[in-house]
Amino acid sequence: MSATPIDLPRWADAGLVPLVSVTAALLVAGLVVLGIGESPLEATALLLKGALGSVEGLGFTLYYTTNFIFTGLAVAVAFHAGLFNIGGEGQATIAGIFLALACLWLAPLPGILLVPLAILAGAAGGALYGFIPGWLQATRGSHVVITTIMFNFLAATLSVYLLVNVMGKPGSMQAETPEFAGHAVLTPMHQLLAPLGIKLPATPLNTAFLLALAALVAIWALIYRSRLGYAIRTVGANPRAAAYAGISPARMTIVAMALSGALAGGLAVNEAMGVQHRLLIDFTAGYGFVGIAVGLMGRGHPIGVALSAFLFGVLYQGGAELSFDKPTITRDMVVVIGGVVILFAGALDGLFRKLVANTLQLGRAA
């Protein structure tokens, strides 16, 4: 995004720069911890132990990672087309409504049909809700950033209305749908692996995690190994050159936004079908926004997205454990880290590239 490109070797560009900016972000978080009178080292130790120190902790970590893979990929795909999709929250919300309707209406179908159909319905809902801002930008010139912000609020108000007045469980105090049928939900990992003789503690980790891994591979193949991915990247790099090469920037904008929305829908699959087995209000819980940090830190590459999704999974699970031990450090700390990561890895990218470039040059001169 910086206007004066700084040449860096590929390994430094893809590995070192994100690493330096994330380290800097974690240092800032450490300062905040220090500021509220706790020891950052002790907090880090508790956090890592909570996230990785037990099989149960790791299960939770991977469950959070699943959410971040989906929302991170959603941001990454749009980024390849030069678009900034901040509508992950809204797209996941609409995906949740579509998916819940499929789970409830198609309940007579056998599970082997119902589950894929519900996942497809969710993806279609997210895709539709990404398609509209993409279409508006491509044909009417309204910027996706503003449209997706407005769409997040529209989705939130729509879901309140639907869950309270239309789809809500009768007699429930909470805004939620009735529970999905037992054959309409995804298998938890500990049940899936039990017949193989692998005993796992019960965690929310479910087969949506496998779906997320598949999505990583599929998006890698799509973006870097397919004609469509090439077209998307070309439009992102230079829309005029793309148009000259016979690629329609308008069409790629729409395709990338729809694809991005469908990926954000994965969040609804993991949360509603995998864990809660019904649609709850506000189930997106900010995962869509953290996905922006994941996408930026991962440089839009599926490997990077996987790694940074795992990092945020560790922070989420570790942060939850940490707040049990140290009530002064709430889980909102993770939101702070997410914000600083977006600032450092996204907006101040130029600064960190320059720092890395200068350091490398110093090394060469010495």
Query: Where does this chain bind other proteins (CB under 8 A)?
Result: 1-4, 32, 35-37, 84, 86, 136, 140-143, 145-147, 149-151, 153-154, 157-158, 160-161, 165, 289-290, 292-293, 296, 327-330, 332-340, 342-343, 346-351
Cβ-Cβ contacts under 8 Å for 352 (sequence gap 6 or more): 17, 20, 21, 24, 344, 345
Nearer to other proteins, 61 or 148 (CB): 148
Nearer to other proteins, 178 or 346 (CB): 346
Please state, as a whole number, how many other Cβ atoms lie within 10 Å of the Cβ of residue 312: 28
Nearer to other proteins, 256 or 269 (CB): 256
Question: Encoding tokens for residue 28?
Answer: 């800032």
Question: Encoding tokens for residue 128?
Answer: 């539709």
How near is the Cβ of 260 to other proteins at its closest, in Å? 15
How near is the Cβ of 258 to other proteins at its closest, in Å? 17
What is the dihedral sign for C-alpha 112, 115, 118, 123? Answer: negative
Contact between 318 and 45 under an 8 Å Cβ cutoff? The reply is no
Nearer to other proteins, 136 or 232 (CB): 136
Nearer to other proteins, 174 or 226 (CB): 174
Nearer to other proteins, 289 or 310 (CB): 289
Question: Encoding tokens for residue 240?
Answer: 């005029």
Nearer to other proteins, 156 or 213 (CB): 156
How near is the Cβ of 192 to other proteins at its closest, in Å? 35
Distances (CA, A) of 3 to 6, 232, 263, 350: 9, 21, 30, 9
Nearer to other proteins, 190 or 301 (CB): 301
How near is the Cβ of 239 to other proteins at its closest, in Å? 15
Angle, alpha carbons 103-263-67 (nearest 5°): 80
How far apart CA 198 and CA 119 sit, in angstroms, is: 27
How near is the Cβ of 182 to other proteins at its closest, in Å? 32
Q: What are phi and psi of 185, to 5 degrees?
A: -115, 165
How near is the Cβ of 231 to other proteins at its closest, in Å? 23
Nearer to other proteins, 60 or 135 (CB): 135
How far apart CA 334 and CA 307 sit, in angstroms, is: 16
Cβ-Cβ contacts under 8 Å for 164 (sequence gap 6 or more): 175
Residues in the chain: 366
Cβ-Cβ contacts under 8 Å for 194 (sequence gap 6 or more): 200
How near is the Cβ of 291 to other proteins at its closest, in Å? 11
How near is the Cβ of 353 to other proteins at its closest, in Å? 10
How near is the Cβ of 351 to other proteins at its closest, in Å? 5
Block residue for tokens 């599970």: 111
How far apart CA 243 and CA 127 sit, in angstroms, is: 24
